Amino acid sequence: MEAGDRIIVRDRVDLREDYRVVVIGEVQRPGSYPITRDRTKLSEILRAAGGITEFAALGSAQLHRSSIAPGQLLLERLESYRGGVSAEDSLYYNLETELRLQKEVVNVNFEALIEAHDSTQDVILKDADVIEVPSIRRTVYVFGQVVSTGHIPFISGASVEYYLNRAGGVTDRARKGSIKIVKAKTRQWLAPDETTIEEGDYIWVPKTTEYPFGYYLSVFGQTAAIVGVAISAILLVNQLTK
């Protein structure tokens, strides 16, 4: 050794080409990136992708993961039909299972990770993970029973009535009591008093259900029959108690 020499001990990086993740959306360099199994963290890949762009909607960013191999999908679907639950519960469970098979979401707060440097959000990535950073929409989409469906510029704190008025108001067939806010990230259907409207959300105005005249005759007939039975029972009880 001589004066001025340097000794460099490099970190051993176990990169395998068959362990990769994909980054799409508002990053500087979207694409596929190799990872080290059970070591590479989300922040490392975001840095490798050049970081997010100024158009990134961090509040809607997601990390998708598929924990089931493609060959196991059919078996998982078949097993989902097992059980002795009610038809309604079974339908709901099967729907949720299908959504899970298509796209599992790892709960990550990208805003906390990137803006607040919250290390608890810096999850370890798995093979075939997909990091999606969507674009800022800056609009709220209003559709259904409104005069003019379409995108309305987002105004922070604006009410449902504001967006409905910007859409020309509701039609005569609108079911006003059933208006829903569909959240951009979770796709939850919430009542207007259950959430605050955020950019990218949807406002759905359903249509009043119209029944044919025969439907009302049927309902009237059934109601009359029930009332008749009740009156007969009352009269019978009165006769027996005399």
Q: What structural domains and CATH numbers belong to the chain?
A: 15-66+103-133 (3.10.560.10), 139-205 (3.10.560.10)
In sequence order, what are the residues at sequence separation of 6 or more whose Cβ sits closer than 8 angstroms to the Cβ of residue 137? 57, 151, 154, 184, 199, 200
Helix H or strand E segment including 32: strand 31-36
Q: Return the C-alpha torsion angle 59, 63, 68, 69, nearest 10.
A: 140
The dihedral through the CA atoms of 222, 223, 226, 228 has a sign that is negative
Q: Which pLDDT score, from 0 to 100, does residue 164 have?
A: 97
Q: What is the pTM of this model?
A: 0.66
CA distances (Å), origin 202, targets 51, 143, 191: 29, 8, 12
Residue 174's identity, in one-letter code, is A
Residue 141's nearest CA partner among 154, 155, 152 is: 152
Over its length of 242 residues, how does the chain's per-residue pLDDT go in tens digits? 888 888 888 766 555 557 899 999 999 999 999 999 899 999 999 999 999 999 999 988 999 998 776 667 677 667 766 666 666 666 676 777 666 666 788 999 999 999 999 999 999 999 999 999 999 989 999 999 999 999 999 999 999 999 999 999 999 999 999 999 999 888 899 999 999 999 999 999 999 876 566 655 676 677 767 767 677 767 666 776 66
Residue 169 C-alpha from the chain's centroid: 27
Q: Which pLDDT score, from 0 to 100, does residue 187 have?
A: 84
d(CA 137, CA 145): 23
